[in-house]
Amino acid sequence: MGCSPKTKSTATPVTQQPKKDVSLIGPKWQLSKINDDMKPQPSDGQVLWLQLLLGGEQFSAYGGCNSGGGKYKIEKDKLTLSDMLSTQMFCEPNMKLEKSYFTKLQMTNRYEIKGNTLSLYFDKTLLLEFEAAE
């Protein structure tokens, strides 16, 4: 009688790898939450965004009407956005949202990235939350 020996399977079960955190520098971050009563998107459907540019420590931002930018500095989990300048167009009814957004950018002193979500803080207070654009 020919018996074949039984072998044990050595296959490892497939587990899903945790999603790798997106880099802070490079991607365009789209605003998904603002820590006040306003909707994060202007009434005309424009997407507010932030992008920290590679090389030169410069950032760009769009507030729904005006574009802006300035300098950034990163030290561990600390992030400061400074010397911000922006265009000065007037666009009703989005100016209140844009002013709040640009002010909160400049208040930022700390950040966290979890997966594709970027959270900007002033100390422990959440100011803005973004999703990495695909």
pLDDT at 9: 46
Note whether residue 72 is domain-resident: yes
48-87 as b/e: b if 16+ CB within 10 A: bbbbbeeeeeebebbbbbbebbbebeeeeeebebeebebe
pLDDT at 1: 53
Note whether residue 56 is domain-resident: yes
Note whether residue 51 is domain-resident: yes
Note whether residue 7 is domain-resident: no
Q: How many CB atoms lie within 10 A of CB 10?
A: 5
Residue 12 CB partners (closer than 8 Å, separation 6+): none
Angle (CA) 58 63 66, round 5°: 85
Note whether residue 6 is domain-resident: no
Note whether residue 2 is domain-resident: no
pLDDT at 12: 46
> pLDDT, tens digit, for every residue of 32-45?
999 876 677 777 77
For residue 121, the cross-strand partners are 110, 126
**In which domain, by residue range, is 93 found?**
28-132
pLDDT at 68: 95
Note whether residue 99 is domain-resident: yes
Residues in the chain predicted with pLDDT less than 70, given as ranges, are 1-19, 37-38, 134
Closest CA to 130 of 49, 39, 17: 49
Whether the bond into 93 is cis, omega within 30 of 0? yes
- CATH value at residue 108: 2.40.128.270
pLDDT at 110: 97
pLDDT at 45: 79
Note whether residue 44 is domain-resident: yes
User: Domain tally for the chain?
Assistant: 1
pLDDT at 17: 47
| C-alpha span between 96 and 42 (Å, rounded) | 10
